[in-house]
Structure 1
Amino acid sequence: MNRTLLIGATGGIGNALLQALRDRGADVTALSRSGDGLDVTDERSVEDHLGALEPGFDAVLVATGALEIGGRRPEKSLREIDAAAMAEQYALNCIGPALVLKHSVRLLPRDRRSVFAALSARVGSIGDNGLGGWYGYRSAKAALNQVLHTGAIELARSHPLAICVALHPGTVQTALTQRYLFRHPSVAPDEAAGHLLGVIDGLKVTDTGGFFDWRGTAVPW
C-alpha cells in the first residue's frame, strides 16, 4: 500500500492507521471531517474532496463511523427505536462509506492490485447475532456489508485485480467504545491498526466482497 487514501484519519482507529502507514513509509493522503471538512454524509463534500485527487491509489481505507450519535446510546429494546436516530446511523455508518466507494472507483488502478476496505463491525452480522438490541447500529453496519459485497461485484468488472472488503477491527479502546469496554476483551488502537494492515496485506483477489475480522477470519453474514 505505497499510496493510500485514508478517510476518517483523526478518529481513534483512523489516527492509529495513519501512524502505522507512515511508519511503513507509505504515501498517505489523510482526510477527515475535523481536519479537512470532509463530511461523508454529504455527497457534494465527498465529491469535492475526492474529485480533487489524482488516480493511482493502491488502497482506500474508510475508518469513519460511530456507535453513539448525538449522545444517543444503542437501543436495548424495540421501544427505544427512534426514526431520526436510526436515519443518522444509516447516514454515517452505511451511506457515508457507500458515497466514498462511489467516488473513489476512479482513483483505483485497473492494471494492478488495489484494496478498498471499510470498517464494519461484528454486530452487523445477522448470522452472529445472538443478543439482540442495538437496532440502529447493527442494521446500518449490516447494510454497509451489503453495499461492500455488491460493490465488489461491480468493481470486479472494471478493476479485475481490485479487492473490496468489510473489516471488523475487534473491540478497540476508543471514544466510540469507552462505555462498553467491560463487556469484551479490547486492544489499543495501535495494536488494532497493526492487525488490520496485516489482514489487508494478506487479502487475495478471491477475497473481494468478503467480511473479515482482525485475525483475517471470515465473519458470518
Structure 2
Amino acid sequence: MSDVGQQWPRTAAVFGASGGIGAALVRKLADRGVGTIYAGSRNGSAPEATGLIPFSFDLTDEASIACAAESMRANSPELVIVATGVLTLADGTGPERTYKRLDSAAMGEVFALNTIGPAMIAKYMLPLLRRNRRAVFAALSARVGSISENGLGGWHSYRASKAALNMLLKNFAIELGRTHDQAVVVGLHPGTVDSALSQPFQSGLPAGQLTDPTEAAANLLGVLNGLGPDQSGKFFDWKGEEIPA
C-alpha cells in the first residue's frame, strides 16, 4: 500500500507534549491537518488542538508507557516523536564539568530519563508501526552526544546518555528494517531552543543561535519529511545535515 498522494502522517504521537519543543510539535502537526495526534506528558496536559488525544506517561514507569501504547493500538501512529530529555535535574544538579563531580545517583537519573525512558517508548511503540506504509520513529538527541565531534569534554552524564541513545536508535533501525522496509528510525538535534531545558545555559549565546520552539518544530518536521529508509539509524540536525556518531 503506497502513501503517494495521501496525507502523511495521518496519525502521530508525541511523547513530551507539555515541553517547549513537544508542545510546538503538537501544534505544528495540528496545523498541517494530522487527523489524530496523541499528546503525552507526565500529568496528561497538552496544548489545545483539533484531533488531540491527551495521555499520561512517566519515563521511569515502564507500565505507564505500555499502557499508553496499548491505548493507541486501534489507530496506531505513523509518526512517533520522543520529545523528552533532561539536562538539569529537578534538584538543580546540572551537567558535570569534571569527572570529580560525578555522582552515581545523579548519573543514573540522567540515564533513566535520556536513554532508558526513550528505549522503553521504542519497546512498546515500534511494534505498533505498520509494515505496509511509511512509518517514522524519532527521538530528540543532542549534538554533544557525538563521540567523534567531542573536543571539549565535560557534561559527562548528558553526553554519555545521548551517545547511548544514538546507539540504541541505530540498533532499533537495524532490527526494524528487517520487517518494515518503509520505516525510518532517527535521532534529531533541534539546535539550541528557547525552552526550560536550555534556560540556565542561554547567557552568552551568540546572536541568532537561540531558536524559538515553533521554528524548531517546523525545522524538525521538515527534516523528517525528507528522510527515507536509507537514512534510518542516523542522526540529523535541524538543518537536515547528518551528525557523525
TM-score between both structures, scaled by the size of structure 1: 0.97
Q: Which residue of 1 aligns with 2:235?
A: 211
2:61 to 25, 42, 46: 42
Matches within 5 A, 1:174-189: 174-181=195-202, 182-183=204-205, 185-189=209-213
Q: Which residue of 2 aligns with 1:3?
A: 11
1:100 to 121, 127, 132: 121
Percentage of identical aligned residues? 49
Q: Which residue of 2 aligns with 1:31?
A: 40
1:59 to 75, 79, 91: 79
Root mean square deviation of aligned Cα: 1.0
Structure 1 position 21 matched with structure 2 position 29: yes
Displacement after TM superposition at 1:69 (Å): 1.0
Displacement after TM superposition at 1:9 (Å): 0.4
* Structure 2 letter corresponding to 1:18: V
Q: Which residue of 2 aligns with 1:68?
A: 88
Task: Show structure 1 runs of 5+ residues with no match.
Answer: none
Larger radius of gyration: 2
Write the deviation string for residues 145-191 of structure 1: whole angstroms up to 9, x where unpaired. Answer: 00000010000112111000000000000010011123351100000
Q: Which residue of 2 aligns with 1:88?
A: 109
TM-score between both structures, scaled by the size of structure 2: 0.88
Structure 1 position 142 matched with structure 2 position 163: yes
**More moved, 177-186 vs 79-88:** 177-186
Displacement after TM superposition at 1:130 (Å): 1.1
Q: Which contiguous aligned blocks of 4+ residues in structure 1 show a shift greater than 6 angstroms?
A: none
- Matched residues in 2 for 1:183 and 1:76: separation? 18
Q: Secondary structure at the match of 2:81?
A: strand
Q: How many residues align?
A: 221
- Matched residues in 1 for 2:142 and 2:149: separation? 11
- Matched residues in 2 for 1:37 and 1:201: separation? 27
Structure 1 position 129 matched with structure 2 position 173: no
Q: Which residue of 1 aligns with 2:185?
A: 164
- Matched residues in 1 for 2:148 and 2:168: separation? 17
- Matched residues in 2 for 1:17 and 1:83: separation? 33
- Matched residues in 1 for 2:217 and 2:136: separation? 16
Displacement after TM superposition at 1:200 (Å): 0.3
| Structure with more helix by fraction | 1
* Structure 2 letter corresponding to 1:24: R
Displacement after TM superposition at 1:12 (Å): 0.7
Task: Show structure 2 runs of 5+ residues with no match.
Answer: 1-8, 45-54
- Matched residues in 2 for 1:190 and 1:67: separation? 21
Q: Secondary structure at the match of 1:158?
A: coil
- Matched residues in 1 for 2:239 and 2:120: separation? 27
Write the deviation string for residues 71-123 of structure 1: whole angstroms up to 9, x where unpaired. Answer: 10110111110000010010000001100001012221100111000000001
- Matched residues in 2 for 1:88 and 1:151: separation? 23
Q: Secondary structure at the match of 1:174?
A: coil
